[in-house]
A and B are shown apart, each in its own frame.
Chain A
Amino acid sequence: MEFKFTQENLNRIEQETKKYPVRKPAVMAALYIAQEQNGYISYEVMKEVATVLGITEEEVLGVVTFYTMYHQKPMGKYHIQVCTNVSCMLRGGYEIWNQIKEKLGLDHMAVSADQKFSLEEVECMGSCGTAPMIAINEDYYENLSKEKVEEILNGLSATLSKEEGV
């Protein structure tokens, strides 16, 4: 599918390039902006980013495939990230991971059929002192218990059905 940045997003990218003596470093921000607009990074997105910044498609591809936060397929509306690294593990990170896996019927990097949820097992998120933790899209949820996780997930489902009801 063809991809073109909106004018507003082009302006945002231009703003980003001003931080640097050359245009290339803005590739990281441009990819975030593209992901926001398109949902994921497709080949067409990479082509457009390359054109806008005047760099090669290979350079963009190299960046996309190096960093875990750029997604090359559409993820769920709620992308749930569960930390299972040591400090979280010591406080039940794997229990939370298994609980969410079961509840959503999803595994690592899987997306639900209705595209509402996706799941990712992530490395340390810098919340070890408030472990266990999960992140949903950009927001951290810390000091979790199984009950709290249940509540959070039910809350998301409730929001979804409300939206559909409208």
Chain B
Amino acid sequence: MEKILLPDIKNLHLIDVYVSNGGYNAAKKAFTQTPDDIIDQVKKSGLRGRGGAAFLCGLKWSFMPKTTDKPKYLCINGDESEPGSFKDRQIFEFNPHQMIEGAIITCYAIGAKTAYVYIRGEYHKWIKLLQKAIDDAYANGFVGEKMKETFGTNFFCDIFIHKGAGAYICGEESSLMNSLEGKRGYPRVKPPFPAQNGLWGCPTTINNVETIANVPKIIEKGWEWFSNIGHPKHPGTLLFGVSGHVNKPGVYELPTGTLLTDIIYKYAGGVPNNKKVLCVIPGGTSMPPIRGDKLEGVRMDAESLKEVGSAIGTGGVIVMDEDTDLVKVLARIAHFYHHESCGQCTPCREGTGWLEKILKRIIAGKGSVSDLDLLITVANQIEGNTICALGEAAAWPVKFMVERFRDYFEQRVSKEISLPVANKVHSMRQTAVPLADVKN
């Protein structure tokens, strides 16, 4: 299968290598067409957002007003803080120019003169790598005023990196914009939506890094080509980040609709010591977990996962073997959302704390069966009653984990189970390709 985002080309992160492999030709092609043509092609390609909600990309772009005296902005979301997600950093490291080329094509399509790439602060290394690529793109006249000459167009745009400083919530698009404005990263009430009222009150489009990196290939090879890859309603490839109890964790670029069991057994090398799978979270910790005995036939795309009561999220697949202490895992997830709640909405601020407290009580052996119902009640009180979707992100794993593993949780509250082999360092690890150059 052809890889769209992380092809096996050595040193593709270098501008010369990228250019000699046809890089920046898609931008050249795009500038011979109208912005509406570009939006139309991306619409027809069926490209959906890779940041979590799988929203139709071309449709989102078409919400940008055509006539406005205000400047327009593109924000590229590289906050990548959803536990289990580690794919955007692969693009920064191994194919940054394709994202940069995607950014200039997108800016042209929506009429933005400035693109900001918001990257989580902990990614110091990847910020430097992307900054180097952006500097090279400027120096070669692919970004900035010199674009006019290079591409023979009147259009030009700038790309800047904005470095976050440790806050998961800043991945939420309206929080991201507040953070970019130099404020506390509080999510905003919607509507108004960013296309009307975004950065500094101006029309703004926010897309994930991986979404934007797909754009040049759609322009270069045509929307028909793209729409024929993978699942027809969610076409293309996804960067699946596989972690947890697998022999070869790592990022695998595969067509949408790939079988989850193929991802675990064929690509990620199966489960250490051939243990059974107890639970899989298919798209980062916010997404509803799937039972290990229900994996057969599950396909990894937005539509198929919806059918089995889950969602694609960021494509971060977390695998847990039969010896995993699910209560401890869920308590850790609850702690995360409690820690990351920005505190604006009472149901989220208080509810996430209660979820964590109740789960810790169960771990301490002081839980009861009624606690399980209480967990679901609290989760239901959060869901749908908050400003942003962190509420759902916190509620879903608890609600669905308890519902789907009711037998397991009931056993767990009635007696203290000791799990001697759970959560030990897995020392048999082999590395998957491609991986960041590891420090040790």
List residues of A whose CB falls within 8 A of some B CB. 19-22, 24-29, 31-32, 55, 59, 62-63, 66-70, 84-87, 89-96, 122-132, 135, 138-146, 148, 151-152
Bound Cα distance A68, B116 (Å): 22
Name B440's contact: one of A67, A126, A143 (CB within 8 Å): A143
Inter-chain contact B426/A123, CB cutoff 8 Å: no
Q: Once the chains bind, are A69 and B425 in contact (CB under 8 Å)?
A: no
Q: Is B204 an interface residue (CB 8 A)?
A: no
Docked complex: B290-335 residues within 8 A CB-CB of A:
316, 318, 320, 324, 328-329, 332-333
Residues of A within 8 A of B429 (CB): 91, 143
With contacts A67-B165, A126-B86 known, is A90 near B125, CB below 8 A? Answer: no
Instruction: State whether A86 and B83 are in contact (beta carbons under 8 Å apart), knowing that A25-B181, A94-B423 are contacts in the complex.
Output: yes
Q: Which of the 9-residue segments B237-245, B253-261, B351-359, B385-393 touches chain A?
A: B237-245
- CB<8 Å pairs between A and B, sample of 17: A19-B162, A55-B182, A67-B164, A86-B281, A86-B285, A89-B423, A91-B425, A91-B429, A123-B339, A124-B83, A126-B80, A126-B89, A128-B318, A129-B242, A139-B125, A143-B440, A144-B440
By the criterion CB–CB under 8 Å, are A66 and B86 in contact?
no
**B336 and A125 within 8 A (CB):** no
Q: Smallest distance from the beta carbon of A79 to chain B beta carbons, Å?
A: 12
Most chain-B CB neighbours within 10 Å: which of A140, A142, A151?
A140
Contact yes or no, B423 A32, CB < 8 A: no
Number of B interface residues in the complex (CB < 8 A): 68
Task: List chain A residues, Cβ under 8 A from B46.
Answer: none
Q: Are A25 and B431 in contact (CB under 8 A)?
A: no
In the complex, what residues of A have CB within 8 A of residue B439's CB? 139-142
User: Which chain A residues lie closer than 8 Å to B435 at the CB level?
Assistant: 129-130
- The docked-state distance in angstroms from the alpha carbon of A69 to that of B182 is 15
Query: Is B249's CB under 8 angstroms from A128's CB?
Result: yes
- Flag if A142 contacts B438 (CB, 8 Å): yes
Residues of B within 8 A of A129 (CB): 86, 241-243, 249-251, 432, 435
- Report the separation of the CA atoms of residues A143 and B244 in the bound assembly, to the nearest whole angstrom: 12
In the complex, what residues of A have CB within 8 A of residue B200's CB?
Answer: 21-22
**Are A138's CB and B125's CB within 8 A?**
yes
| Residues 267 to 282 of chain B near chain A (Cβ within 8 Å) | 281
Taking A86-B332, A126-B80, A139-B125 as contacts, is the C-beta distance between A24 and B181 under 8 angstroms? yes
Q: A21-B200, A67-B167, A139-B125 are in contact. Are A86 and B184 (CB under 8 A)?
A: no
Question: Which 6 residue pairs across A and B have the least CB separation, nearest first?
Answer: A92-B425, A67-B165, A68-B166, A128-B243, A69-B166, A124-B83
B residues 171-195 in Cβ contact with A at 8 Å = 179-185
- Chain A residue numbers with a CB within 8 Å of B121 are 32, 67, 69
CB-defined contacts of B179 to chain A, threshold 8 Å: 28
- Cβ < 8 Å to A, chain B residues 74-92: 80-86, 88-89
Q: Is there an interface contact between A70 and B165, defined as CB atoms closer than 8 Å?
A: yes
Cβ–Cβ contact A68 & B440, under 8 A? no
| Chain A residues closer than 8 Å to B13, beta-carbon distance | none
Q: Chain B residues with Cβ under 8 A from A68's Cβ?
A: 165-167
Whether the Cβ atoms of B249 and A131 lie closer than 8 Å is yes
Contact residues in A for B86 (Cβ distance below 8 Å): 126-130
Distance in angstroms from B438 CB to nearest chain A CB is 5
Contact of A152 among B250, B336, B427, B440 (CB under 8 A): B440
B124, A138: Cβ atoms closer than 8 Å: yes
Say yes or no: A87 contacts B167, CB within 8 Å.
Answer: no
Give the shortest distance, in Å, between B360 (CB) and chain A (any CB): 14
Shortest Cβ distance from residue B175 to the other chain A in the assembled complex, whole angstroms: 10
A93 to B425, CA, bound (A): 7
Q: A131-B249, A142-B436 are in contact. Are A25 and B180 (CB under 8 A)?
A: yes
A54 CB, nearest partner CB in chain B, Å: 12
Determine if B340 is an interface residue (Cβ-Cβ < 8 Å): yes
Q: Is the CB of A145 within 8 A of B318?
A: no
CB distance from B36 to the nearest CB of A (A): 27
**B83 contacts A87, C-beta separation under 8 Å:** yes
The chain B residue with its CB closest to the CB of A123 is: B336
Whole-angstrom distance between the alpha carbons of A85 and B423 in the complex? 12
Q: Is the beta-carbon distance between A28 and B165 smaller than 8 angstroms?
A: yes
* Chain B residues, CB < 8 A from A27: 182
By a CB distance below 8 angstroms, the chain A residues around B162 are: 19, 25, 28
CA distance A93 to B438 in the complex (A): 17
**Is there contact, CB below 8 Å, between A90 and B122?**
no
B61 within 8 A of A: no
Nearest-neighbour CB distance to chain B for A102, whole angstroms, equals: 15
B165, A31: Cβ atoms closer than 8 Å: yes
Asked if B423 and A130 sit within 8 Å, CB to CB, the answer is no
Complex-state Cα separation, A32 to B339, whole angstroms: 22
Minimum Cβ distance to chain A for residue B43 (Å): 30
Query: Which residues on the B side are within 8 Å of A26 (C-beta)?
Result: 182
CB proximity of A128 to chain B, nearest CB, Å: 4
CA distance A63 to B181 in the complex (A): 11
Chain A's closest residue to B435 (CB) is: A130
Measured between beta carbons, the chain A residues less than 8 angstroms from B89 are 126
Q: Does B120 have its Cβ within 8 Å of any Cβ on chain A?
A: yes
